[in-house]
Structure 1
Amino acid sequence: MSTSDLRASDLDLLMSTVAEAYRDDPGEGMPWALLLGLAELIPCDLGVCYQHHDHRACRTLLMQGVEPGGGREPVCGPEEPAPDDPFWQLWWQATCSWPQRTGNLHRVVHTGDFFPTERARRADPMSEVLPEMRYDMMLSLPAPPGEARRILFFRAEDPSFTERERQLAELIRPHVQEIWLDAERRRAGVPTLSPREWEVLSLAAAGRSYGEIAGQLYVSTGTVRKHMEHVRERLGVHSVAAAAAIAMPHAPAVRSR
């Protein structure tokens, strides 16, 4: 991906958004600072929204959005299943399910990828369900089977989303996932561990001995033992198994060696 169209100010704002999101309260879904920063990074006259859907049950688990100008919409969800709702009836044929149908969660997609003309967009049945939404851009995130998590950017008026804006969304996407994982850890009360402590805990939870971990990480066995002592102290437990049970469901991506 070329970043030739990006400005230095874009990257400064992107990294500032990431930093503010880590400092902000985790909230119920995403830290508000993340959504507010995204709305400044990619302005939208209908706002920016985080959505978490259970598409098998035809229901929204959580929706959290910011309006133009920085207003915060009330967080809603979980909703009752609504299989008769036109949105869910059209889900599997609409563009909103493209990541689930293709298995491609990495590509950021927008209206122009599917509808080359305004006439084509208006012919889409979903345009009758969401008539106020003319353009949208979707940043998909990992989710359990049967679920969908994404950040959506909405516009009612021109301009349509540009390649520069897609590049910005693609650049921030891995940070968004890590911010959400960090928020989940904080909501669950999991103490902050260093990258090396997460790495050691991950290997220990996989059944590696301290000696094997030391050889893989090129450190001494004593160093590994000290890291695990710190992990157990911070989690308030006395065994690797207990530490793993508490922390590993919220673990960040660990770099393999």
Structure 2
Amino acid sequence: MGTGHLHARDADDLLELLRAARSEDPGPVLPWGLLEGLVRLVPCGVVLTCRLLDHRDCRTVVVQGALADGTRGVEHADARALEGPYARLRSPVTGGSRGVRALRRALASPFPRPVDGGGPARAEVVTDVPGELVVPLRSPAGPAAHLLLLRTDDEPFPDRDPSLLELARPHLVEVWAAAERRRAGIPRLTAREWEVLALAAAGLVTDEIAAALCIAVGTARKHAEHIREKCGAHSLAEAAARCLPAGSGPLPPGARDGLGPPGR
């Protein structure tokens, strides 16, 4: 999807919105300022975002919505509330029949996986339904969410809008992952610190971590010290138990599940 339809200030406005979102309260799914900014940046009637939670025998959907007039709505519901031809949610923002149909389609769509086993999952903005844009938010082995933008008149979005969202999608994944990290109380580590922590969780000692990362042993010790300080832990094992998903292995979580910052 090309960017030839974008307006002159689109990239600047998008970057400003994303920059602000990274420092905002994470919200139920995404920061509120991000949703409200998207309503203005991609003119539409409502922006919805949702995440599906699995709790043993119960599946819960968390839906967060913002209208063009500034109205907000949040709902935590049994996922079965989205089933059937007359499905509705209680919130007037998230519960209209149009929104429920869009949510049901989004949650039923599988996430494409990366073709090479690394990097963000390859998934473009979905434009199958007129007046509806769906942005899948997922990084490999990490949590997933959907962002939906709906027009109230059911008219198709102009080509500029999905192009802008496709440009924004990798950054939206970062904002979503950062929001998850803050909700879980996981500190912000550097990419190198995530690597050290993941290797320690896999059972490597300091000398082995240094060799694996081609760094000095003293540097590895300094990274370990910073990790313990940021996590409030007495050992790397304690820090790993708090911050790493079970079975994450030696790969750095910053590259695998979006909980760490991108880049180095």
| TM-score (structure 2 length as normaliser) | 0.72
Deviations 1:58-93 (CA, angstroms, capped at 9, x unpaired): 965111111113x132211133634753277x98xx
Deviations 1:79-123 (CA, angstroms, capped at 9, x unpaired): 3634753277x98xx8545632876861211135xxxxxxxxxxx
RMSD, aligned CA: 3.5
For residues 173 and 85 of structure 2, the distance between their equivalents in structure 1, rounded to whole angstroms, comes to: 30
The letter for the 1-side match of 2:31 is P
> Residue 109 of structure 2 aligns to a residue in which SS?
helix
> Residue 75 of structure 1 aligns to a residue in which SS?
strand
* 1:110 paired to 2:127: yes
Where does residue 253 of structure 1 map in the other structure? 255
* 1:29 paired to 2:29: yes
Using the TM superposition, give the Cα deviation of residue 162 of structure 1 relative to its aligned residue in structure 2, in angstroms: 2.8
Where does residue 115 of structure 1 map in the other structure? none
The letter for the 1-side match of 2:35 is L
1:1-257 equivalences under 5 Å are 1-44=1-44, 46-53=45-52, 61-69=61-69, 71-79=70-78, 81-82=80-81, 85-86=84-85, 95-96=105-106, 99-100=109-110, 106-111=123-128, 135-142=131-138, 149-157=145-153, 159-249=155-245, 251-253=253-255
> Which 5+ residue runs of structure 2 have no aligned equivalent?
88-99, 114-120, 247-252, 257-261
Q: In 2 relative to 1, CA 256–210 (structure 1 residues): closer, same or farther, beyond 3 Å?
A: farther
Which one has a bigger Cα radius of gyration? 1
> Residue 223 of structure 2 aligns to a residue in which SS?
helix
Q: In 2 relative to 1, CA 221–65 (structure 1 residues): closer, same or farther, beyond 3 Å?
A: same
Q: In 2 relative to 1, CA 213–72 (structure 1 residues): closer, same or farther, beyond 3 Å?
A: farther
| TM-score (structure 1 length as normaliser) | 0.74
The letter for the 1-side match of 2:136 is S
For residues 160 and 149 of structure 2, the distance between their equivalents in structure 1, rounded to whole angstroms, comes to: 14
Is this contact kept in 2: 1:58–1:82, CA < 8 A?
A: no
The letter for the 2-side match of 1:165 is D
Is this contact kept in 1: 2:112–2:123, CA < 8 A?
A: no
Using the TM superposition, give the Cα deviation of residue 159 of structure 1 relative to its aligned residue in structure 2, in angstroms: 4.5
The letter for the 1-side match of 2:222 is K
> Residue 21 of structure 2 aligns to a residue in which SS?
helix
> Residue 137 of structure 1 aligns to a residue in which SS?
strand
> Residue 78 of structure 2 aligns to a residue in which SS?
coil
For residues 144 and 207 of structure 1, the distance between their equivalents in structure 2, rounded to whole angstroms, comes to: 23
Between 46-55 and 175-184, report the one with greater CA deviation. Answer: 46-55
Q: In 2 relative to 1, CA 101–241 (structure 1 residues): closer, same or farther, beyond 3 Å?
A: closer
Q: How many residues were matched structurally? A: 230
The letter for the 1-side match of 2:123 is H
Deviations 1:36-57 (CA, angstroms, capped at 9, x unpaired): 222222110x211102246998
Q: In 2 relative to 1, CA 102–144 (structure 1 residues): closer, same or farther, beyond 3 Å?
A: closer
For residues 253 and 72 of structure 1, the distance between their equivalents in structure 2, rounded to whole angstroms, comes to: 36
For residues 82 and 150 of structure 2, the distance between their equivalents in structure 1, rounded to whole angstroms, comes to: 24
Using the TM superposition, give the Cα deviation of residue 230 of structure 1 relative to its aligned residue in structure 2, in angstroms: 1.0
The letter for the 2-side match of 1:227 is H
Tell me which protein shows more helix as a share of its residues. Answer: 1
Is this contact kept in 2: 1:53–1:61, CA < 8 A?
A: yes
Q: In 2 relative to 1, CA 33–249 (structure 1 residues): closer, same or farther, beyond 3 Å?
A: farther
> Residue 135 of structure 2 aligns to a residue in which SS?
strand
Using the TM superposition, give the Cα deviation of residue 154 of structure 1 relative to its aligned residue in structure 2, in angstroms: 0.2
Between 170-179 and 209-218, report the one with greater CA deviation. Answer: 209-218
